[in-house]
């Protein structure tokens, strides 16, 4: 630059459009919204929130250079920072200048306001500056005992505690007398910054990390990774489907603070045959996708979106889950943890800033090291290098575990499907890789059935109602029991309908024991009925009524006989049904008219999906947005410069001048009264006048805007105003 920049705003004004565009690309928060001019841009770029975001985006190498810059007195030369770091810092300085974390003053550099406050008073463990000329020759004469004291302070922390500054002891006393240590108060001494740097060998870091370590791990072929991944994809889709069907069958009640309770989580985990942390993750996936919601009555139910989701192809269903997982700030790995209480899935305590950044960094490393299943310490070290300010080792562990569950990775290595996802390809290749769904089962003699592959949606839904899943894998094993058959009857099926479905679907004949089981349960189902009275129990079989009345397990229900075939209780109907079923009876509910009630086959939430908010990370804006932002700030700067002198014009002069400028297609400056009564200056490109309104393109916003003619106080050519302002400045 030909002129020294005194302020950060002045230095920004001197940057080229390309440099400004690079700044906005590296720091997207600076254009959300677009500042009015360079003064506003500089204020935002040096604000604490913006600087924190910028520092969080730095890798370890760039952060170390910023730390080194905060050690030096300003303005500092490039050679000064190279001398206390390394020759490679030349490249880092250019990048940090581009980011606006350093700015130039001639050939020197300065740090923006607030940056040193964020780095701290003791950067890199260095103490206070002496501020006077330092005699380093004294270091040659340091006694052995004093040298031992120094060795503990060189790399920080630079402060040490002593009992009394007046009686410091021989070792510390010598250092204080020779000003190698300074007293901060009566009990604290510190090693000055100048001496510490000298003792560090004229460097400020013990170890500079200009690049990350190389990832280590086990080699996995792409074919192996893809085979494992496609199995995981099939499994996660089935888990989500089974989870949501289970919520429909037995909707849990949400905790008062929101979320699924520990007992319900354990029950669902047993039903799915997975760990509770996996169920928590599945619940969060479905929550993010709007497939499950907490109703106003606190029941946790699938939404109508679940039925739409089921009708979509597998690849589309998988993508709808994974794309949300990539960007969410909710951390399902925290489920079951918490210092004071158990953190619940679907609850409000799972948001963590930086979770998405760690997740994407982890996948980026895998993308750059294909066919490698990483060693955990190795990948953690690399993630920490890329995100030293946001690093959390647990986040890396959970990201790898969840990526495997989702099929983004297979056997730890990034799958082809994961690669296609990160590359935003339209075709992910999942549909062709998944096995075709089967439309039949094989009933076994032991009241079980085997599905030799993923079942079609209709058959899977039916089987989930009348049977429990016993084991999963390439083939799924279902188990028929009295409870599962009763569940099907509760959903409105009859015994004959269940037998017809199984006979039609199975390629093996139905064994007699299973047929007898279905017939027996169907015969007993509904024989005993429970209604509201608070609740009553009635049965045509007086012997059964007598049995229940004298059953000691039912004593706590406080049953009383009000007729030969009727018992009454003060307990609620759902509780009575649940208790009786636990004790081996098979009651069914009936309404006030005595009609047998069956639960609806599909329970869906009455309220709409309410996906959780996301603590978003700023992403690089599009080129068109950046170009528009640069143009807007330049225009705003010109408007600010012309502000003092737009000459007033009468109404007739205003109309005549505007028409003239429209014909000449000339850019003009106007003085305009806003809605608040204030007067502002705008640079515009007039287009047309109609019904007392001027339509023009506003250079500051780049948008077509309308201005009321009576509010225009003055008009002049923009270049004339700029010239007049320049003359005044001179």
Contacts of 91 (CB under 8 A, 6+ apart): none
Give tens-digit pLDDT for 656-678: 888 888 888 888 888 888 676 66
Based on the domain organization, do 512 and 383 belong to the same domain? Answer: no
- What's residue 132's pLDDT? 76
Based on the domain organization, do 310 and 336 belong to the same domain? Answer: yes
- H or E stretch including 54? helix 48-56
- What's residue 317's pLDDT? 95
Does residue 630 surpass a pLDDT of 70? Answer: yes
- With vertex at residue 249, the alpha carbon angle to CA 538 and CA 405, rounded to the nearest 5 degrees, is 155
Does residue 264 surpass a pLDDT of 90? Answer: yes
Task: Supply 298's token pair.
Answer: 């606190």
The upper half-sphere exposure of residue 357, i.e. CA atoms within 13 Å in the direction of its Cβ, equals 23
Q: Please list the residues that pair with 510 across neighbouring strands.
A: none
Give tens-digit pLDDT for 367-422: 999 999 999 999 999 999 999 999 999 999 999 999 999 999 999 999 999 999 99
Does residue 74 surpass a pLDDT of 80? Answer: yes
Q: How far is CA 37 from CA 16, 28, 307, 718, 720, in A?
A: 15, 16, 51, 17, 21
Is residue 605, in this structure, part of any structural domain at all?
no
- Listed ranges 17-31, 162-176, 450-464, 634-648; the one with the highest mean pLDDT: 17-31
- What's residue 486's pLDDT? 87
Query: How confident is residue 179, by pLDDT bands cut at 50, 70 and 90?
Result: confident
Based on the domain organization, do 278 and 425 belong to the same domain? Answer: yes
Residue 426 burial by Cβ neighbours in a 10 Å radius (0-12, 13-18, 19+): exposed
Based on the domain organization, do 103 and 13 belong to the same domain? Answer: yes
Q: DSSP per residue over 257-315, as a string?
A: TSS--HHHHHHHHHHHTS-HHHHHHHHHHHHHTTSEEE-TTSBEEE-THHHHHHTS-HH
Query: How confident is residue 615, by pLDDT bands cut at 50, 70 and 90?
Result: low
Q: Please list the residues that pair with 688 across neighbouring strands.
A: 695
Based on the domain organization, do 180 and 256 belong to the same domain? Answer: no
Task: Supply 322's token pair.
Answer: 């994974």
Is residue 355, in this structure, part of any structural domain at all?
yes
Query: How confident is residue 129, by pLDDT bands cut at 50, 70 and 90?
Result: confident
- With vertex at residue 586, the alpha carbon angle to CA 541 and CA 581, rounded to the nearest 5 degrees, is 130
Contacts of 407 (CB under 8 A, 6+ apart): 229, 230, 231, 232, 233, 236, 318, 415, 417, 418
Based on the domain organization, do 535 and 474 belong to the same domain? Answer: no
Give tens-digit pLDDT for 45-61: 999 999 999 999 999 99
**pLDDT: which is higher, 198 or 720:** 198
- What's residue 56's pLDDT? 92
Does residue 186 surpass a pLDDT of 90? Answer: no
Does residue 85 surpass a pLDDT of 70? Answer: yes
Task: Supply 614's token pair.
Answer: 């996301």
Is residue 614, in this structure, part of any structural domain at all?
no
219 close to 211: Cβ distance less than 8 angstroms: no
Reference 670, options 647, 704, 700; nearest CA is 647
- What's residue 639's pLDDT? 62
Query: How confident is residue 204, by pLDDT bands cut at 50, 70 and 90?
Result: very high
Q: How large is the average pLDDT for residues 15-27? A: 93
Number of compact structural domains in the chain: 6
- What's residue 455's pLDDT? 84
Q: Is 434 helix (H, G, I), strand (E, B) or coil?
A: coil
Q: For 1-15, 142-156, 342-356, which range has the lowest pLDDT when averaged over its residues?
A: 1-15
Based on the domain organization, do 280 and 157 belong to the same domain? Answer: no
- What's residue 358's pLDDT? 95
Q: Is 184 helix (H, G, I), strand (E, B) or coil?
A: strand
- Listed ranges 106-110, 532-536, 697-701; the one with the highest mean pLDDT: 106-110
- What's residue 1's pLDDT? 38
Pick the last residue of a domain from 552, 568, 589.
589
Based on the domain organization, do 420 and 288 belong to the same domain? Answer: yes
Reference 672, options 632, 709, 727, 633; nearest CA is 709
Strand order in the sheet with 448-451: 442-443, 448-451, 476-479, 468-471
Based on the domain organization, do 320 and 229 belong to the same domain? Answer: yes
Based on the domain organization, do 541 and 491 belong to the same domain? Answer: no
Q: For 453-457, 594-598, 644-648, 718-722, which range has the lowest pLDDT when averaged over its residues?
A: 718-722
Alpha-carbon distance 118 to 242, whole Å?
Answer: 49
- What's residue 309's pLDDT? 94
- What's residue 598's pLDDT? 62
Alpha-carbon distance 502 to 514, whole Å?
Answer: 10
**pLDDT: which is higher, 590 or 423:** 423
The domain in which residue 497 lies consists of 442-523
Task: Supply 283's token pair.
Answer: 């619940």
Does residue 2 surpass a pLDDT of 50? Answer: no
Alpha-carbon distance 328 to 343, whole Å?
Answer: 17
Task: Supply 107's token pair.
Answer: 């050939």
Q: What is the CATH number of the domain that holds 35?
A: 1.10.10
- What's residue 353's pLDDT? 85
Q: DSSP per residue over 84-150, as a string?
A: HS-TTHHHHHHHHHHTTSSEEETTEEEPPTTHHHHH-SSGGG------S---GGGGGG--HHHHHHH
440 close to 456: Cβ distance less than 8 angstroms: no
Based on the domain organization, do 235 and 305 belong to the same domain? Answer: yes
- What's residue 422's pLDDT? 95
Contacts of 321 (CB under 8 A, 6+ apart): 236, 240, 285, 288, 289, 406
Give tens-digit pLDDT for 319-333: 999 999 999 999 999
Q: How large is the average pLDDT for residues 482-493? A: 84
Average pLDDT, the chain: 87
């Amino acid at each position: 630059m030909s002129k020294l920049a005194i302020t950060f705003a002045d230095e920004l004004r001197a940057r080229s459009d390309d440099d400004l565009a690079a700044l906005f690309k590296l720091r997207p928060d600076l254009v959300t919204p677009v500042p009015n001019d360079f003064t506003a841009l500089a204020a935002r770029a040096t604000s604490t929130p913006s600087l924190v975001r910028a520092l969080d985006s730095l890798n370890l190498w760039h952060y170390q250079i910023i730390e080194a810059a905060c050690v030096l007195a300003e303005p500092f030369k490039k050679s000064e920072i190279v001398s206390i770091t390394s020759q490679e810092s030349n490249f880092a300085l250019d990048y940090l200048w581009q980011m606006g974390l350093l700015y130039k003053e001639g050939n020197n550099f300065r740090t923006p306001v607030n940056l040193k406050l964020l780095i701290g008073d003791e950067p890199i463990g260095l103490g206070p500056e002496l501020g006077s000329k330092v005699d380093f020759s004294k270091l040659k004469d340091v006694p052995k005992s004093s040298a031992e004291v120094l060795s503990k302070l060189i790399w920080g922390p630079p402060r040490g505690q002593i009992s009394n500054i007046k009686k410091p002891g021989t070792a510390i006393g010598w250092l204080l007398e020779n000003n190698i240590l300074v007293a901060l108060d009566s009990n604290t001494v510190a090693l000055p910054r100048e001496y510490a740097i000298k003792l560090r060998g004229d460097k400020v870091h013990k170890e500079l990390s200009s690049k990350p370590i190389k990832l280590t791990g086990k080699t996995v072929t792409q074919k192996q990774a893809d085979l494992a991944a496609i199995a995981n994809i099939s499994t996660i889709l089935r888990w989500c489907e089974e989870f949501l069907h289970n919520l429909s069958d037995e909707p849990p009640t949400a905790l008062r603070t929101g979320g699924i309770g520990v007992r319900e989580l354990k029950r669902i985990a047993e039903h799915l045959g997975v760990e509770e942390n996996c169920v928590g993750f599945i619940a969060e996936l479905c929550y993010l996708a709007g497939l499950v919601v907490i109703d106003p009555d606190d029941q946790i139910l699938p939404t109508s979106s679940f039925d739409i989701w089921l009708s979509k192809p597998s690849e589309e269903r998988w993508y709808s889950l994974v794309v949300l997982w990539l960007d969410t700030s909710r951390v399902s790995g925290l489920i079951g943890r918490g210092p004071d209480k158990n953190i619940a899935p679907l609850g409000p305590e799972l948001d963590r800033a930086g979770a998405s950044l760690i997740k994407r960094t982890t996948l980026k490393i895998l993308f750059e090291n294909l066919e490698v299943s990483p060693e955990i310490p190795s990948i953690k070290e690399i993630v920490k290098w890329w995100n030293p300010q946001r690093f959390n080792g647990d986040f890396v562990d959970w990201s790898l575990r969840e990526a495997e569950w989702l099929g983004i990775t297979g056997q730890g290595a990034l799958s082809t499907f994961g690669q296609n996802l990160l590359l935003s390809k339209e075709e992910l290749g999942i549909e062709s890789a998944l096995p075709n769904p089967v439309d039949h089962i094989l009933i076994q003699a032991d009241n079980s059935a085997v599905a030799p592959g993923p079942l079609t949606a209709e058959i899977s839904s039916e089987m989930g109602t009348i049977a429990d899943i016993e084991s999963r894998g390439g083939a799924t094993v279902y188990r028929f029991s009295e409870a599962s058959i009763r569940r099907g009857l509760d959903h409105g099926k009859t015994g004959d309908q269940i037998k017809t479905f199984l006979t039609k679907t199975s390629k093996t004949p139905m064994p007699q024991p299973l047929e007898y089981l279905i017939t027996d349960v169907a015969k007993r189902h509904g024989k005993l009925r429970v209604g509201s009275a608070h609740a009553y129990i009635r049965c045509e079989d007086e012997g059964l009524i007598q049995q229940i009345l004298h059953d000691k397990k039912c004593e706590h229900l406080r049953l009383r006989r009000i007729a030969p075939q009727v018992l009454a209780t003060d307990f609620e109907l759902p509780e009575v049904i649940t208790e009786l079923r636990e004790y081996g009876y098979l009651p069914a509910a009936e309404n006030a008219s005595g009609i047998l009630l069956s639960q609806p086959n599909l329970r869906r939430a009455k309220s709409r999906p309410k996906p959780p908010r996301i603590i978003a990370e700023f992403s690089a804006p599009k080129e068109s947005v950046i170009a528009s932002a640069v143009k807007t700030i330049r225009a705003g700067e010109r408007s600010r410069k012309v502000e003092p002198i737009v000459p007033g014009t009468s109404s007739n002069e205003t109309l005549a001048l505007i028409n003239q400028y429209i014909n000449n297609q000339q850019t003009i400056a106007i003085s305009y009264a806003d809605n608040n009564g204030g007067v502002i200056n705008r640079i515009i490109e007039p287009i047309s006048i109609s019904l007392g309104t001027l339509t023009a393109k506003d250079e500051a916003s780049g948008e077509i805007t309308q201005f009321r003619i009576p509010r225009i106080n003055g008009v002049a050519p923009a270049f004339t105003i700029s010239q007049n302002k320049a003359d005044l400045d001179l």
